[in-house]
Structure 1
């Protein structure tokens, strides 16, 4: 459960384009730029400079004004000032012959301009003048810095990245490859309105940021998490654009490698291979093959890595070409780390020795089928991160980062960060970790906590996290960092052909089953609450359309009085129109089966009273009941009326029906009593196994479709008294 006691505000407010992304599948309102962004010198929390221009001053690159302590970062930077900064940062060779071709240069400007001209970085205008006092435009800044970074050569880079910007067409043709290179190199802070503003005036602070790759070694960390088998390209209906897919992520990775070939790291935060037909039918091999082709550097173990059983997980770890890490997975018998997952990996990038620690979330214990994790403990990650960071530094690592399945959250308006990601960054102390990557909550998170950049990139490859570390060339310490999220619309990159072919080969093997027609949906079958549009967009609040249908199918298949399923097990919505087997599989990808037993009214009430860890509201999905509840009431006392559909009471006016028991169906994950905290299921003395839950649902929907398009409109089974009903 996300820990609200430990919170930290992002240093930079998330883009105003951001939206609430509660729920397991959400389609955000996207702008043209990386949606979340935060940046600060990593050491703002450890006594280092508080701005890029201050950092540049401390390196002797910029100077202040006489009798003025303010560096005036917001002032426009002139061509003469920028050339002077570039000379100092790049240590340009002094030209023996001072240029006299520019009559408008002062003596103090002459040497710096001559050096820059000789290096092929700048030139004059068509009238033979240099215009030293003219402000530099943003696209001119990009050209000058990229010429240095690319050693004077024209950049060979994918310019599709410019589609991030709504004013991309305004970028001068001669500047386009340079601006694309600059964007991929992180030279510019994203703008909130989704524009690049190429002819806008560059400021002293912007110039100070842009020269950082000249001053420091740069490490780009690209991150994914919660892929859940979604390696195929998806579609964002709101923007009418293709989105996601592992081939698109490969394109993004290769774009970054084109500008930082020896300094780009790719990691995953877990839950990679469970969730789609293309992955589940191969026990995740399609995902592993794709990630191996991209050359991921490491991945963490998520709770759903156990869904195919421990033997499959171990086999996948052995088959992957990259390390899949689990530093805090403990064998209860020995009290030691399991021997089938390494705690960390050590890699070399840009002449730096980098340690990558992999951590699982402690929530794995309650979010995974108990039989698959029997005998395992998922320990508090903070002590292990501290211990292993010290171990890695003793082995000579310059940088230590964590890739994990630790969840985070971020308020879209305030930028406030919270969750296990924040707990780790705050709890490990200053100087222990240099970056933290998370997962599990399927949220968009990017910010700086305790001087440490943290990211979580939603899910299903709908975003890629990007952490940029600037490392001092002498001390090899991180002196500054950025954290952001990158979109994965297919028009922003060029898909990789080899990864594309891997996916196509696996697609051909499942084509017929995936596209089998099951029904027509009369309207969207949502995994969000029926009350979503008038409860503050809270997805987990009582019943959902998908939950109603699935539990109705479970109850019908087992001829029980009541059926329950957990909202966390419903993984996708289905849009109005054609419903295929593949779509229904994505809703119920876990392979669970029905189990039926006998329960009392008191036990059933306790189940209903359990609140969701994210929304703090009751959200257990059910069939066969009509209920009334009031969220203003205290925990354990929210439900005032519970009856069967025929009116048989379970709870009325505070009185429980003690005269009979009830035949109850749930899934095998829930039946243990350990799944999602519904302990009352664990009190059932005997369970009878039934149909595969997905099969029962498919059969049920097929039968319904005989009468036409299937509608899942609210039938009034779930009444929340403190909200006006829809």
Structure 2
């Protein structure tokens, strides 16, 4: 952040300038926390000398002070979350089955949250247990029980909070993409309804119950680029294309009138400046992922009409506060809580498990030492003949020297499960051939070698394909390891979605865990770039 007067001086200034006929509603928001409540290093700012961020304890320090000031000034505060708060690069959320994260959220006083797509990976039973543990409602207006056709436990479609004479309606919307879970058993008995239709119905219900202000927690995602996203929206309207399912937050804001504010999640792209729909005037906010920032927007609400007349932001940079230890020292009781949770669920997370004699860097366009490590680990853990995964599944590099589980969690934050698929060589050939069409650059591979020429016509780009040193046999059945995400037919692998269930072997092994075991076994690592798929 640029040098600014502190968030606390901002608050005092806004309060002083507030007109007597205006209610100030300070809304803090997070999204895509992904278990990121502990201290962390801001490698995205400076990979060599990253500044330290205080995480959830710094969040608590800010919120507690603002709450105290708000009580003195007759103003109000909400703390909301836009989903995907459990699973992430640390085991804190996953290994505690979300309990550690909800304990933290209870401690700092969240008012409401919406479940995110990845939160459903916990499974319905454990999500229900979290709902009972939470001191705040989990809102999901479009998630119903397929048998009763009522809102599925532990969710509630909406809630109304009364503050300072205002009736504030809050509701949650989850992307229908959640129904594409890599393990269908996790969402068994759940139906995900149209986001637009559910939102329209819920807004009407809230208005019938005299809600003055309506806020949606929408795990749908604002586009990475607001201008490009809005251009797409306008082009859809020009062609009379009006979606009611699989929409993003921008599309929801345009399709459903009557929402004052949307707290968005799902896309890890923070918006310093809120995006406001020019038709319905819905204000949309979204934070970065991982818990390194805290979002804040202050709504100015006219006391007589109880309508939003504008908003204030806490910084000259915008609405997102970087939780730097230099600026926001952690609140002690929250820091102690997080430390105790980490000791319970993250033993050995920072212990050395191996080392590498070279830096292991990513290459989003082709083979790298890191991609070879990943694919070799997938092969070794499953005994498969061939392995492939996408390049973007790796989210960080590993520097030369010691390797810890925390390092690997930064590289593989989502812990995708390895699935082994029995398929004939012809299908494997077609999948790899299709992966280099257009602007695509194929996959990271292990157990074989491919030579291709993208300049050739469709179906003829692969010139040579060998597995285990032998030419690919189109009629032979191979055991092919990949991620559960790709096994469902994503990333252009549509043919996999039509295979019978009995060809899929769900190993229960996470990619990250396979790599960890490989590092332990083969350290010190001396991974080479071998020309597995020269581009």
| Smaller-chain TM-score bracket | 0.7 to 0.9
- DSSP 3-state at the match of 1:644: strand
Query: 1:267 aligned to 62, 80, 85, which one?
Result: 80
Partner of 1:505: 340
CA gap of 1:697–1:425, structure 2 versus 1, over 3 A, is: same
Query: 1:459 aligned to 281, 286, 289, which one?
Result: 289
Task: State the Cα deviation string for residues 211-241 of structure 1 (Å, max 9, x = none).
Answer: 4555521112111111111111101241631
- DSSP 3-state at the match of 1:267: strand
CA drift of 1:648 comes to 4.1
Task: State the Cα deviation string for residues 585-635 of structure 1 (Å, max 9, x = none).
Answer: 4545666654434212342245446779xx97456443224345677889x
CA gap of 1:516–1:264, structure 2 versus 1, over 3 A, is: same
Q: Quick check: 1:424 aligned with 2:239? A: no
Partner of 1:203: none
CA drift of 1:300 comes to 0.5
Partner of 1:250: 60
Partner of 1:548: 372
CA distance in structure 1 between the aligned counterparts of 2:42 and 2:221, rounded to whole angstroms? 25
CA distance in structure 2 between the aligned counterparts of 1:602 and 1:611, rounded to whole angstroms? 14
CA distance in structure 2 between the aligned counterparts of 1:633 and 1:260, rounded to whole angstroms? 66
Q: Quick check: 1:583 aligned with 2:399? A: no
Q: Is the 8 A contact 1:617 1:631 kept in 2?
A: no
Q: Quick check: 1:218 aligned with 2:36? A: no
Partner of 1:14: none
CA gap of 1:589–1:241, structure 2 versus 1, over 3 A, is: closer
Partner of 2:239: none
CA drift of 1:420 comes to 0.5
CA distance in structure 2 between the aligned counterparts of 1:216 and 1:662, rounded to whole angstroms? 68
Q: Is the 8 A contact 1:366 1:674 kept in 2?
A: no
Partner of 1:622: 445
CA gap of 1:489–1:712, structure 2 versus 1, over 3 A, is: farther
Query: 1:596 aligned to 410, 420, 445, which one?
Result: 420
CA drift of 1:415 comes to 9.6
CA drift of 1:242 comes to 0.7
Q: Quick check: 1:436 aligned with 2:248? A: no
CA distance in structure 2 between the aligned counterparts of 1:352 and 1:544, rounded to whole angstroms? 56
CA drift of 1:298 comes to 0.4
- DSSP 3-state at the match of 1:229: coil
CA distance in structure 2 between the aligned counterparts of 1:513 and 1:264, rounded to whole angstroms? 38
- DSSP 3-state at the match of 2:132: helix
Q: Is the 8 A contact 2:451 2:465 kept in 1?
A: no
Q: Is the 8 A contact 2:385 2:468 kept in 1?
A: no
CA drift of 1:467 comes to 2.4
Partner of 2:11: 184
CA drift of 1:477 comes to 0.7
Q: Is the 8 A contact 1:225 1:439 kept in 2?
A: yes
CA gap of 1:516–1:371, structure 2 versus 1, over 3 A, is: same
Partner of 2:509: 692
Q: Is the 8 A contact 2:217 2:263 kept in 1?
A: yes
Query: 1:393 aligned to 207, 211, 231, which one?
Result: 207
Partner of 1:640: 462
CA drift of 1:669 comes to 5.6
Q: Is the 8 A contact 1:250 1:495 kept in 2?
A: yes
CA gap of 1:659–1:550, structure 2 versus 1, over 3 A, is: same
Q: Quick check: 1:347 aligned with 2:168? A: no
CA distance in structure 1 between the aligned counterparts of 2:167 and 2:455, rounded to whole angstroms? 55
CA drift of 1:436 comes to 0.7
CA gap of 1:304–1:700, structure 2 versus 1, over 3 A, is: same
Partner of 2:354: 519
Paired residues in the alignment total 500
CA drift of 1:576 comes to 3.8
The answer for unaligned runs of 5 or more in structure 2 is 233-246, 314-318
CA distance in structure 2 between the aligned counterparts of 1:407 and 1:384, rounded to whole angstroms? 17
CA distance in structure 1 between the aligned counterparts of 2:296 and 2:377, rounded to whole angstroms? 43
Query: 1:493 aligned to 307, 328, 331, which one?
Result: 328
CA distance in structure 2 between the aligned counterparts of 1:697 and 1:473, rounded to whole angstroms? 58
- DSSP 3-state at the match of 2:378: helix
Q: RMSD value over aligned CA atoms?
A: 3.4
CA gap of 1:232–1:598, structure 2 versus 1, over 3 A, is: same
- DSSP 3-state at the match of 2:338: helix
Q: Is the 8 A contact 1:310 1:373 kept in 2?
A: yes
Larger Rg: 1
CA distance in structure 1 between the aligned counterparts of 2:63 and 2:79, rounded to whole angstroms? 8
CA distance in structure 1 between the aligned counterparts of 2:408 and 2:425, rounded to whole angstroms? 32
> TM-score of the superposition, structure 2-length normalised?
0.83
- DSSP 3-state at the match of 1:280: helix
- DSSP 3-state at the match of 1:495: coil
Query: 1:469 aligned to 284, 293, 299, which one?
Result: 299
CA distance in structure 2 between the aligned counterparts of 1:631 and 1:349, rounded to whole angstroms? 62
Q: Quick check: 1:481 aligned with 2:311? A: yes
Range that drifts further, 544-553 or 463-472:
544-553
CA gap of 1:332–1:544, structure 2 versus 1, over 3 A, is: farther
Partner of 2:34: 228
CA distance in structure 1 between the aligned counterparts of 2:342 and 2:97, rounded to whole angstroms? 14
- DSSP 3-state at the match of 2:200: helix
- DSSP 3-state at the match of 1:513: coil
- DSSP 3-state at the match of 1:358: strand
Q: Is the 8 A contact 2:433 2:462 kept in 1?
A: no
Task: State the Cα deviation string for residues 99-155 of structure 1 (Å, max 9, x = none).
Answer: xxxxxxxxxxxxxxxxxxxxxxxxxxxxxxxxxxxxxxxxxxxxxxxxxxxxxxxxx
CA distance in structure 2 between the aligned counterparts of 1:182 and 1:213, rounded to whole angstroms? 18
CA distance in structure 2 between the aligned counterparts of 1:493 and 1:676, rounded to whole angstroms? 41
Q: Is the 8 A contact 2:167 2:210 kept in 1?
A: yes
CA distance in structure 2 between the aligned counterparts of 1:511 and 1:340, rounded to whole angstroms? 27
- DSSP 3-state at the match of 2:52: strand
CA drift of 1:716 comes to 3.0
CA distance in structure 2 between the aligned counterparts of 1:389 and 1:258, rounded to whole angstroms? 32
Q: Is the 8 A contact 1:219 1:350 kept in 2?
A: no
Partner of 1:717: 532
